[in-house]
């Protein structure tokens, strides 16, 4: 059983979209499809249920996913440990990035840091906010991307980078698709598709509904791409960060609408006390603070 194929399965399970998964993995869709089929044959079960329009995890896939994630995590951590061992004589560190780093210009600033300090080597590790925090807690790195409302048992210092907000994403045929704004009360009767369950953005949305004494009809909590594909099929309305919505403004099948009053949040970096960071980590944090504090959320028009 190929470790790489298991890692590919995890990415596809998160995306539920062959095109996005292949792009993230830097392989062709045909290669990804071939690898997944080989894994299914080896396990003797179908991991996905496929239709002409979409895919979703099968019952077997849902059972296998936690084990696959653990295998992928251990593989990544072991590679990081070996990289650290090989490069221990040179200034290096690990940069943690949350899934879809382009949303908040993280990829742009990481590249900028590399150009500013070419003698410093680093490795990148990408994961969801829960996994990143768990690795931070286990001291695999000292700086990680997170949201201001994220809470964990171990305290950390939060450095804000960008203020943003949640917007509503409707199918183009929806009566509210052409509205300037919508309220939470207007969304009360809608089937809602939210970001990952228990995550900072999902918690922000759920809290806002609770404060308005509204019981939202949440039918899906998962990946960004999964939400949009379900919106297009008429499954419901998605509430997501405007950075993600801004990337969809040319999609003719959906419409992004502001929520009023605004559901705002702050994205940034969590880190240990500055004096406890290594020299290169201090340089990285200082660079991000200097160049990222003026980032503003994009328009969804």
DSSP output for 261-287: S--EEEEEEEES-GGGS-HHHHHHHHH
> pLDDT at position 100, please?
76
Does the pLDDT value for residue 295 go beyond 50?
no
> pLDDT at position 143, please?
95
CB 284 within 8 A of CB 143: yes
What digits encode the pLDDT tens for the residues 16-45?
988 888 877 768 889 999 999 999 999 999
Q: Which residues on neighbouring strands pair with residue 239, listed in sequence order?
A: 168
Q: Residue 89: pLDDT band by 50, 70, 90 thresholds? A: low
Distances (CA, A) of 297 to 6, 202, 220, 264: 35, 18, 25, 11
**Total-model pTM:** 0.67
What digits encode the pLDDT tens for the residues 46-86?
999 988 778 999 999 999 999 999 998 888 778 767 766 66
Nearest to 235 by CA among 194, 196, 192, 183: 192
Does the pLDDT value for residue 163 go beyond 70?
yes
């Amino acid at each position: 059983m190929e470790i790489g194929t298991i890692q590919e399965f995890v990415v596809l399970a998160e995306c539920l979209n062959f095109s996005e998964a292949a792009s993230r993995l830097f392989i062709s869709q045909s290669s990804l499809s071939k690898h997944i089929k080989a894994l299914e044959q080896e396990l003797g079960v179908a991991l996905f249920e496929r239709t002409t329009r979409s895919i979703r995890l099968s019952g077997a896939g849902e059972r296998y996913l936690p084990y696959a994630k653990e295998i992928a995590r251990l593989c990544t951590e072991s590679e990081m440990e070996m990289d650290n061992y090989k490069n221990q004589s040179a200034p290096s560190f690990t940069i943690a990035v949350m899934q879809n780093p382009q949303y908040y210009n993280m990829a742009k600033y990481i590249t900028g840091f590399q150009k500013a300090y070419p003698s410093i080597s680093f490795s990148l590790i990408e994961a969801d906010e829960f996994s990143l925090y768990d690795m931070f807690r286990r001291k695999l790195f000292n700086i990680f991307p997170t949201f201001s409302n994220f809470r964990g048992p171990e305290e950390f210092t939060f450095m804000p980078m960008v203020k943003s907000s949640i917007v509503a994403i409707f199918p183009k045929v929806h009566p509210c698709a052409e509205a300037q704004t919508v309220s939470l009360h207007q969304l009360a009767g809608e089937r809602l598709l939210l970001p990952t369950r228990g995550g900072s953005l999902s918690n922000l949305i759920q809290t806002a509904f609770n404060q308005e004494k509204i019981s939202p009809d949440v039918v899906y909590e998962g990946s960004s791409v999964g939400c949009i594909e379900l919106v297009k099929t008429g499954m419901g309305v998605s509430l997501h960060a405007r950075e993600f919505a801004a990337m969809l403004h040319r999609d003719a099948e959906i419409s992004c609408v502001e929520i009023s009053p605004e559901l705002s949040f702050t994205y940034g970096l969590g880190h240990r006390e500055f004096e406890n960071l290594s020299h290169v980590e201090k340089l990285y944090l200082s660079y991000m603070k200097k160049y990222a504090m003026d980032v503003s959320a994009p328009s969804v028009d």
